[in-house]
Chain A
């Protein structure tokens, strides 16, 4: 397929169809409505079902049912709606079902605003709902990557039988860029879904039950430990990141999604001023790419974390750096997108403060 100019939300939706997703359940909320609208139009043409649910609570439980029935299934929402889905996501993780959840983040807390933000990092990466579980989180920085990671998300969800979240902000959802969808091939070898409820006629009479309920503590602990073995494998195999101009950098900016794009512009400006700045861009937020910090820790004098939040990924960077270098933070929130000049200023202040 040739490159096509698309809106971020549409690119994600188109990539889902391309990856073989035929079921979508969602509820309108700005700034992700184009996902639901695009799939309302296009999924039936592909022989699929797009259903506008009565709420995000219902939508995520429809996802549970469809995933348990063996389908590739997608939902999308934005921050307040994702909060409503947390119960269902916990059940999906507990029942070990694969699904993809897209969060086009807007500013919070509460009803907040409809402008872009990155303030759902904690919710996305630390569990979000109740109980011991994690969601694999992919954070695209441009629309081609949004499409590619959406396809990867389905494969990883199936491989680990766990929810995978595509975490983007309203900027990624709303801007337009050229996107190319290549013929889909699974990124990993996918096992048959021999656990899905299809009716016993389709499973040689063997009953299949989807549940996250374990009344006996020893069984539940065993179940949670088995789930955590998957998270250990994810942490070993799935951490993804990008390094940009880090080889000679005195300051390394850590940023993901939209803020990583702003950081790139800031880095260019800094380098024109003779200040060597690089970028470490986490692509997976869970698992967080701790190994990337070990790879480059010897060189930079300081780290600068930039987020559209009051500092959430900052905590993971602190864990990664473990006191070996100073860390500065620059965040805008409430729907304000920082400018490259603001980031340049922070980098220069940091250089003055930490470099003799």
Chain B
């Protein structure tokens, strides 16, 4: 019998705990495949977040450190400064990166830390049960914005890529999505390129991946993918925001 598809060697055999229709599994696969294809899995060190992906250290088949909420870029900085030849990456959600960890991500970018950040934006706090995130859309209902997020008072979505692209020392900043197969293929190319930037010592790279949360959005998996396309993408335009190799 011929093997036509198999799980990436970049992932362990531990079953993922993610909800049906959540895109974390897809994004894990893209990251794992990228590390394997670039032949850097054995020198990769993951920094896992607090949030839905807290157990990422069980899933990625490489060394890992679990960070405090929001502190992954600082932890990654410590690791990378000790092991400059390691491929150090953080995997963070929107609450972790854009709320409690906003200081750490901005300053890691400002220093041009030669790390890769996979930023998963699903516009909500998933692990804690569906509270408002800094990336929640205006009008979006969550358990802490039951009337819909108000522009004034609760604020408007933070656009991380647009912000970090203004920082001189960032090398590659891009926003992708995984809601269709072509988009998924583009996301894979972006993640791979981000790791390549690190391998070539080009500096800070970040890939923001628009993701789903059917459970806390109150949608079916199919509806959730459609919501990303129709509602999230207009607020979070896909594209390359910074590429020192001239791709922007």
Q: What is the interface of chain A, defined by CB distance below 8 A to chain B?
A: 23, 25, 49, 51, 53-55, 57-59, 61-71, 73, 87-88, 91, 95, 197-203, 205, 207-213
Give the distance to chain A from B204, nearest Cβ to Cβ, in Å: 14
Contacts of A91 in B (CB 8 A): 68
Q: Is B117 part of the binding interface, using a Cβ–Cβ cutoff of 8 Å?
A: no
Contact between chains at B82 and A71 (CB < 8 Å): yes
Q: Is B229 part of the binding interface, using a Cβ–Cβ cutoff of 8 Å?
A: no
Contact between chains at B62 and A211 (CB < 8 Å): no
**Interchain CB contact (< 8 A) of B68 among A68, A87, A197, A210:** A87
Contact between chains at B66 and A209 (CB < 8 Å): yes
Contacts of A66 in B (CB 8 A): 78-79, 81-82
Q: A61-B104, A207-B61 are in contact. Are A197 and B66 (CB under 8 A)?
A: no
Contacts of B83 in A (CB 8 A): 69, 198-199
Q: Give complex CA distance A356, B60 in Å.
A: 74
Query: On chain B, which size bracket covers the interface?
Result: 35 or more
Q: Is B76 part of the binding interface, using a Cβ–Cβ cutoff of 8 Å?
A: yes
Chain B residue with Cβ nearest A212: B66
Chain A residue with Cβ nearest B47: A65
Q: Give complex CA distance A113, B29 in Å.
A: 53
Q: Give complex CA distance A87, B77 in Å.
A: 18
Q: Give complex CA distance A269, B68 in Å.
A: 52
Contacts of A61 in B (CB 8 A): 67-68, 71, 74-75, 78, 104
Q: A65-B74, A69-B82, A210-B66 are in contact. Are A201 and B43 (CB under 8 A)?
A: yes
Contact with A along B156-175 (1 / 0, CB 8 A): 00000000000000000000
Q: Give complex CA distance A326, B87 in Å.
A: 61
**Interchain CB contact (< 8 A) of A63 among B41, B63, B78, B103:** B78
Having A23-B82, A203-B63, A205-B42, one finds 9 other A-B pairs with CB under 8 Å, namely A58-B71, A61-B104, A68-B79, A69-B83, A197-B45, A199-B83, A200-B63, A208-B63, A213-B54
Contact between chains at B79 and A58 (CB < 8 Å): no
Chain A interface, >50% SS class: mixed
Contacts of B63 in A (CB 8 A): 197-200, 203, 207-209
Contact between chains at A62 and B74 (CB < 8 Å): yes
Chain A residue with Cβ nearest B77: A62
User: Which positions 58-105 of chain B face chain A at CB distance < 8 Å?
Assistant: 58, 61-68, 71, 74-83, 86-87, 103-104
Q: Give complex CA distance A61, B107 in Å.
A: 13
Contact between chains at A211 and B104 (CB < 8 Å): no
Q: A65-B47, A199-B63 are in contact. Are A211 and B57 (CB under 8 A)?
A: yes
Q: Is B44 part of the binding interface, using a Cβ–Cβ cutoff of 8 Å?
A: yes
Contact between chains at B104 and A58 (CB < 8 Å): yes
Q: Give complex CA distance A69, B74 in Å.
A: 13
Chain B residue with Cβ nearest A65: B78
Contact between chains at A213 and B74 (CB < 8 Å): no
Q: Give complex CA distance A205, B9 in Å.
A: 13
Contact between chains at B103 and A57 (CB < 8 Å): yes
Contacts of B12 in A (CB 8 A): 207
Give the distance to chain B from A65, nearest Cβ to Cβ, in Å: 3
Give the distance to chain A from B14, nearest Cβ to Cβ, in Å: 11
Q: Give complex CA distance A118, B107 in Å.
A: 33
Give the distance to chain B from A110, nearest Cβ to Cβ, in Å: 21
Contact between chains at B66 and A73 (CB < 8 Å): no
Q: Give complex CA distance A65, B62 in Å.
A: 16
Contacts of A203 in B (CB 8 A): 63
Contact between chains at A69 and B78 (CB < 8 Å): yes
Can you list 13 pairs linking A and B with CB atoms under 8 Å apart? A58-B107, A59-B74, A61-B68, A62-B81, A65-B80, A68-B65, A69-B79, A88-B71, A201-B43, A205-B42, A207-B12, A208-B64, A209-B66
Give the distance to chain A from B157, nearest Cβ to Cβ, in Å: 24
Q: Give complex CA distance A197, B87 in Å.
A: 12
Contact with A along B14-41 (1 / 0, CB 8 A): 0000000000000000000000000001
Chain B residue with Cβ nearest A62: B78
Give the distance to chain B from A104, nearest Cβ to Cβ, in Å: 22
Give the distance to chain B from A157, nearest Cβ to Cβ, in Å: 15
Contact between chains at B77 and A199 (CB < 8 Å): no
Chain A residue with Cβ nearest B110: A54
Contacts of A73 in B (CB 8 A): 78
Contacts of B65 in A (CB 8 A): 64-65, 68, 95, 197, 209-211
Give the distance to chain A from B127, nearest Cβ to Cβ, in Å: 12
Contact between chains at A200 and B78 (CB < 8 Å): no
Give the distance to chain A from B169, nearest Cβ to Cβ, in Å: 14
The 6 closest A-B pairs by CB, nearest first: A65-B78, A61-B74, A66-B78, A211-B66, A199-B43, A65-B75
Chain B residue with Cβ nearest A92: B68
